[in-house]
Amino acid sequence: MFHIKLVVEPKYIIVKGGTDVVLPCSLSTKENVESKVFDWRKVAQKDDGLKEVFMYEKGFHYNNGRPGQSEEFKGRVSHFEDELKHGNASIIIRNKKEADSEVYTCHFPRLHQMVHLKLFVVAPEPDINIIDATDDGVLLQFEVRGAASKPRVEWQDRDGNKLPAEDPQVSERGDGYHITLQTTVTKTGCCRCVVTQEETNRRTHAEIYVAIIGRAVIKVQGGADVVLPCSLSTKENIEFKLFDWKKVAQKDDGLKEVFLYDSGIHYNNGRGGQSEQFKG
Protein backbone atom coordinates (compact mmCIF):
# COMPACT_ATOMS: atom_id res chain seq x y z
CA MET A 1 0.00 0.00 0.00
CA PHE A 2 1.38 3.41 -1.02
CA HIS A 3 1.81 6.15 1.57
CA ILE A 4 -0.18 9.17 0.41
CA LYS A 5 1.37 12.60 0.61
CA LEU A 6 0.17 16.01 -0.47
CA VAL A 7 2.39 17.70 -3.03
CA VAL A 8 2.71 21.51 -3.22
CA GLU A 9 5.19 22.97 -5.70
CA PRO A 10 6.23 25.75 -5.48
CA LYS A 11 5.60 26.64 -1.84
CA TYR A 12 6.23 30.36 -2.41
CA ILE A 13 4.30 32.19 -5.13
CA ILE A 14 4.78 35.82 -6.16
CA VAL A 15 2.22 37.44 -8.48
CA LYS A 16 1.15 40.94 -9.49
CA GLY A 17 -2.12 42.34 -8.24
CA GLY A 18 -5.05 42.04 -10.62
CA THR A 19 -3.85 38.77 -12.17
CA ASP A 20 -5.05 35.19 -11.63
CA VAL A 21 -3.02 32.65 -9.69
CA VAL A 22 -3.08 28.88 -9.26
CA LEU A 23 -2.50 27.48 -5.76
CA PRO A 24 -1.15 23.97 -6.37
CA CYS A 25 -2.00 20.88 -4.31
CA SER A 26 -2.23 17.24 -5.40
CA LEU A 27 -1.88 13.69 -4.09
CA SER A 28 1.50 12.05 -4.60
CA THR A 29 -0.28 8.86 -5.74
CA LYS A 30 -2.35 10.81 -8.32
CA GLU A 31 -5.40 8.78 -7.25
CA ASN A 32 -8.91 10.01 -7.97
CA VAL A 33 -10.15 12.63 -5.47
CA GLU A 34 -13.67 13.10 -6.90
CA SER A 35 -15.14 11.28 -3.88
CA LYS A 36 -12.83 12.83 -1.29
CA VAL A 37 -12.89 15.98 0.86
CA PHE A 38 -10.38 18.79 0.64
CA ASP A 39 -10.48 22.27 2.12
CA TRP A 40 -8.47 25.37 1.20
CA ARG A 41 -8.11 28.07 3.87
CA LYS A 42 -6.24 31.32 4.31
CA VAL A 43 -4.47 32.06 7.57
CA ALA A 44 -6.03 35.35 8.73
CA GLN A 45 -3.82 38.40 9.27
CA LYS A 46 -5.58 39.14 12.56
CA ASP A 47 -6.80 36.94 15.40
CA ASP A 48 -10.07 36.03 13.70
CA GLY A 49 -9.44 32.43 12.71
CA LEU A 50 -8.93 30.88 9.27
CA LYS A 51 -10.65 32.20 6.15
CA GLU A 52 -12.64 29.70 4.08
CA VAL A 53 -11.35 29.83 0.50
CA PHE A 54 -12.65 26.67 -1.21
CA MET A 55 -14.12 23.46 0.20
CA TYR A 56 -14.87 20.37 -1.90
CA GLU A 57 -16.75 17.29 -0.69
CA LYS A 58 -17.70 14.57 -3.18
CA GLY A 59 -18.68 17.09 -5.87
CA PHE A 60 -20.33 19.56 -3.48
CA HIS A 61 -18.47 22.88 -3.16
CA TYR A 62 -18.85 26.65 -2.76
CA ASN A 63 -19.65 27.24 -6.43
CA ASN A 64 -22.66 24.90 -6.56
CA GLY A 65 -24.57 25.61 -3.37
CA ARG A 66 -22.33 24.86 -0.38
CA PRO A 67 -22.49 27.72 2.19
CA GLY A 68 -19.68 29.00 4.40
CA GLN A 69 -17.20 30.57 2.00
CA SER A 70 -15.56 33.77 3.29
CA GLU A 71 -17.03 36.87 1.67
CA GLU A 72 -13.73 38.07 0.20
CA PHE A 73 -13.40 34.93 -1.94
CA LYS A 74 -16.96 34.58 -3.24
CA GLY A 75 -17.07 34.41 -7.03
CA ARG A 76 -13.27 34.43 -7.34
CA VAL A 77 -12.24 30.81 -6.71
CA SER A 78 -12.66 27.63 -8.74
CA HIS A 79 -11.08 24.19 -8.99
CA PHE A 80 -9.96 21.97 -11.88
CA GLU A 81 -12.89 19.57 -12.18
CA ASP A 82 -11.38 17.55 -15.04
CA GLU A 83 -8.17 17.03 -13.06
CA LEU A 84 -9.79 15.58 -9.92
CA LYS A 85 -9.49 12.05 -11.28
CA HIS A 86 -5.72 12.57 -11.44
CA GLY A 87 -5.44 13.65 -7.79
CA ASN A 88 -5.30 17.38 -8.53
CA ALA A 89 -6.90 19.50 -5.80
CA SER A 90 -5.42 22.81 -7.01
CA ILE A 91 -7.52 25.95 -7.14
CA ILE A 92 -7.37 29.20 -9.11
CA ILE A 93 -8.02 32.59 -7.51
CA ARG A 94 -8.96 35.35 -9.95
CA ASN A 95 -8.11 39.04 -9.77
CA LYS A 96 -5.58 38.76 -6.96
CA LYS A 97 -5.56 41.55 -4.40
CA GLU A 98 -2.87 42.85 -2.07
CA ALA A 99 -4.96 41.62 0.85
CA ASP A 100 -4.71 38.05 -0.52
CA SER A 101 -1.04 37.89 0.49
CA GLU A 102 -0.75 35.31 3.27
CA VAL A 103 -0.23 31.63 4.11
CA TYR A 104 -2.74 29.17 2.64
CA THR A 105 -3.45 25.60 3.71
CA CYS A 106 -4.71 22.65 1.67
CA HIS A 107 -6.27 20.07 4.00
CA PHE A 108 -7.47 16.52 3.33
CA PRO A 109 -9.10 15.82 6.74
CA ARG A 110 -9.87 12.12 6.15
CA LEU A 111 -6.30 11.49 5.05
CA HIS A 112 -4.93 13.51 7.99
CA GLN A 113 -2.81 15.49 5.54
CA MET A 114 -2.24 19.26 5.39
CA VAL A 115 0.28 21.41 3.51
CA HIS A 116 1.07 25.14 3.57
CA LEU A 117 2.13 27.62 0.92
CA LYS A 118 2.89 31.35 0.99
CA LEU A 119 1.40 33.79 -1.50
CA PHE A 120 2.85 37.26 -2.12
CA VAL A 121 0.78 39.70 -4.18
CA VAL A 122 2.74 42.76 -5.33
CA ALA A 123 1.50 45.97 -6.91
CA PRO A 124 1.96 46.24 -10.70
CA GLU A 125 5.03 48.16 -11.82
CA PRO A 126 4.41 51.71 -13.07
CA ASP A 127 5.09 52.64 -16.70
CA ILE A 128 6.95 55.95 -17.36
CA ASN A 129 6.60 58.04 -20.52
CA ILE A 130 7.91 61.42 -21.70
CA ILE A 131 4.81 63.36 -22.73
CA ASP A 132 6.29 66.66 -23.91
CA ALA A 133 9.36 68.90 -23.85
CA THR A 134 8.75 72.64 -23.47
CA ASP A 135 10.50 75.82 -22.38
CA ASP A 136 9.51 74.94 -18.82
CA GLY A 137 11.15 71.49 -18.86
CA VAL A 138 10.22 67.89 -19.60
CA LEU A 139 6.73 66.63 -18.82
CA LEU A 140 6.79 63.10 -17.42
CA GLN A 141 3.86 60.80 -16.79
CA PHE A 142 3.65 57.43 -15.13
CA GLU A 143 0.73 55.07 -15.24
CA VAL A 144 -0.26 52.18 -13.01
CA ARG A 145 -2.65 49.71 -14.60
CA GLY A 146 -4.71 47.12 -12.77
CA ALA A 147 -3.89 47.91 -9.14
CA ALA A 148 -6.07 45.67 -6.97
CA SER A 149 -6.64 48.45 -4.43
CA LYS A 150 -6.20 52.22 -4.71
CA PRO A 151 -2.52 53.00 -4.00
CA ARG A 152 -0.70 56.19 -3.00
CA VAL A 153 1.43 57.51 -5.85
CA GLU A 154 4.11 60.19 -6.02
CA TRP A 155 7.13 61.42 -7.95
CA GLN A 156 10.49 61.58 -6.15
CA ASP A 157 14.03 62.61 -6.98
CA ARG A 158 16.97 60.25 -6.47
CA ASP A 159 17.28 61.32 -2.81
CA GLY A 160 13.64 60.47 -2.09
CA ASN A 161 12.39 64.06 -2.01
CA LYS A 162 8.84 64.46 -3.26
CA LEU A 163 8.51 66.32 -6.56
CA PRO A 164 5.62 68.70 -7.25
CA ALA A 165 2.90 67.09 -9.36
CA GLU A 166 -0.70 67.52 -10.40
CA ASP A 167 -3.43 65.55 -8.63
CA PRO A 168 -3.41 61.92 -9.84
CA GLN A 169 -6.07 60.84 -12.33
CA VAL A 170 -7.80 57.72 -10.99
CA SER A 171 -10.30 55.43 -12.69
CA GLU A 172 -11.66 52.06 -11.58
CA ARG A 173 -11.98 49.47 -14.35
CA GLY A 174 -12.70 45.77 -14.64
CA ASP A 175 -9.08 44.76 -13.92
CA GLY A 176 -8.60 47.20 -11.03
CA TYR A 177 -7.51 50.80 -10.53
CA HIS A 178 -5.73 52.78 -13.27
CA ILE A 179 -3.76 55.81 -12.04
CA THR A 180 -1.74 58.43 -13.94
CA LEU A 181 0.42 61.15 -12.42
CA GLN A 182 2.39 63.88 -14.19
CA THR A 183 5.29 66.09 -13.17
CA THR A 184 7.44 68.66 -14.97
CA VAL A 185 11.21 68.21 -14.54
CA THR A 186 13.45 71.25 -14.97
CA LYS A 187 16.81 69.81 -13.86
CA THR A 188 18.96 66.98 -15.14
CA GLY A 189 18.79 63.92 -12.89
CA CYS A 190 17.05 60.71 -11.93
CA CYS A 191 13.30 60.73 -11.30
CA ARG A 192 11.45 57.93 -9.56
CA CYS A 193 7.74 57.15 -9.49
CA VAL A 194 6.68 55.34 -6.33
CA VAL A 195 3.51 53.28 -5.81
CA THR A 196 2.58 52.41 -2.22
CA GLN A 197 -0.25 50.07 -1.24
CA GLU A 198 -1.60 51.65 1.94
CA GLU A 199 -3.06 48.48 3.46
CA THR A 200 0.18 46.48 3.27
CA ASN A 201 2.76 49.31 2.96
CA ARG A 202 4.34 47.46 0.02
CA ARG A 203 6.11 49.63 -2.55
CA THR A 204 7.06 49.33 -6.19
CA HIS A 205 8.85 51.94 -8.29
CA ALA A 206 10.33 52.73 -11.68
CA GLU A 207 13.04 55.24 -12.62
CA ILE A 208 13.96 57.44 -15.57
CA TYR A 209 17.01 59.63 -16.13
CA VAL A 210 16.27 63.03 -17.65
CA ALA A 211 19.06 65.09 -19.22
CA ILE A 212 18.13 68.72 -19.79
CA ILE A 213 20.71 70.60 -21.85
CA GLY A 214 19.72 74.17 -22.56
CA ARG A 215 16.12 74.60 -23.58
CA ALA A 216 13.98 71.71 -24.70
CA VAL A 217 12.26 74.05 -27.17
CA ILE A 218 14.37 76.61 -29.03
CA LYS A 219 12.82 79.69 -30.60
CA VAL A 220 14.78 81.89 -33.06
CA GLN A 221 14.01 84.49 -35.67
CA GLY A 222 14.30 83.63 -39.33
CA GLY A 223 17.75 84.31 -40.79
CA ALA A 224 19.54 83.91 -37.48
CA ASP A 225 21.95 81.07 -36.61
CA VAL A 226 20.95 78.48 -34.02
CA VAL A 227 22.70 75.77 -31.99
CA LEU A 228 20.84 72.47 -31.54
CA PRO A 229 22.34 71.02 -28.32
CA CYS A 230 23.11 67.32 -27.79
CA SER A 231 25.84 65.67 -25.69
CA LEU A 232 26.61 62.54 -23.69
CA SER A 233 25.91 62.79 -19.97
CA THR A 234 29.26 61.05 -19.33
CA LYS A 235 31.12 63.69 -21.42
CA GLU A 236 33.27 60.92 -22.91
CA ASN A 237 35.25 61.44 -26.16
CA ILE A 238 33.09 60.95 -29.26
CA GLU A 239 35.71 61.67 -31.97
CA PHE A 240 35.52 58.04 -33.07
CA LYS A 241 31.79 57.53 -32.60
CA LEU A 242 28.81 57.86 -34.92
CA PHE A 243 25.99 60.36 -34.54
CA ASP A 244 23.31 61.52 -36.94
CA TRP A 245 21.09 64.61 -36.92
CA LYS A 246 17.86 64.36 -38.89
CA LYS A 247 14.83 66.56 -39.41
CA VAL A 248 11.39 65.03 -39.17
CA ALA A 249 9.73 65.87 -42.48
CA GLN A 250 6.52 67.88 -42.45
CA LYS A 251 5.07 65.68 -45.19
CA ASP A 252 5.19 61.95 -45.81
CA ASP A 253 8.59 62.01 -47.48
CA GLY A 254 10.77 60.51 -44.76
CA LEU A 255 13.45 62.07 -42.54
CA LYS A 256 15.76 64.81 -43.82
CA GLU A 257 19.51 64.29 -43.40
CA VAL A 258 20.93 67.30 -41.54
CA PHE A 259 24.41 66.24 -40.31
CA LEU A 260 26.02 62.79 -40.08
CA TYR A 261 29.36 62.29 -38.33
CA ASP A 262 31.25 58.97 -38.35
CA SER A 263 34.75 58.87 -36.84
CA GLY A 264 35.69 62.24 -38.35
CA ILE A 265 33.98 61.82 -41.74
CA HIS A 266 30.94 64.08 -42.20
CA TYR A 267 28.92 66.06 -44.74
CA ASN A 268 31.38 68.98 -44.80
CA ASN A 269 34.46 66.92 -45.74
CA GLY A 270 33.27 64.57 -48.45
CA ARG A 271 30.48 62.36 -47.10
CA GLY A 272 27.48 62.18 -49.44
CA GLY A 273 23.78 61.97 -48.60
CA GLN A 274 22.99 65.31 -46.97
CA SER A 275 19.58 66.77 -47.83
CA GLU A 276 19.81 69.67 -50.30
CA GLN A 277 18.23 72.23 -47.99
CA PHE A 278 21.06 71.81 -45.44
CA LYS A 279 24.13 71.71 -47.71
CA GLY A 280 26.69 74.30 -46.68
Q: For residue 210, what pLDDT is reported?
A: 79
Res 218: pLDDT: 66
> Residue 228's pLDDT is what?
87
Domain boundaries, the chain: 6-122, 127-210, 242-278
Q: CATH topology of 6-122 equal to that of 127-210? A: yes
pLDDT tens over the chain, length 280 residues: 346 677 877 778 878 766 789 999 999 999 999 999 999 999 876 666 789 999 999 999 999 999 999 998 999 999 999 999 999 999 999 987 767 888 999 999 998 999 999 988 776 678 888 888 776 688 888 888 777 667 888 999 888 899 998 888 988 876 667 889 999 888 878 889 988 876 666 778 888 887 676 655 665 666 778 888 888 888 899 999 999 999 876 656 678 899 999 999 999 998 999 999 899 9
Q: What class is the 6-122 domain?
A: mainly beta
Report the C-alpha gap between 271 and 260 in whole angstroms.
8
* pTM score: 0.55
Pick the CATH number of 127-210 from 3.40.50.300, 3.40.720.10, 2.60.40.10, 3.20.20.80: 2.60.40.10
In this predicted structure, what is the pLDDT of residue 1?
Answer: 37
The predicted pLDDT at position 174 comes to 62
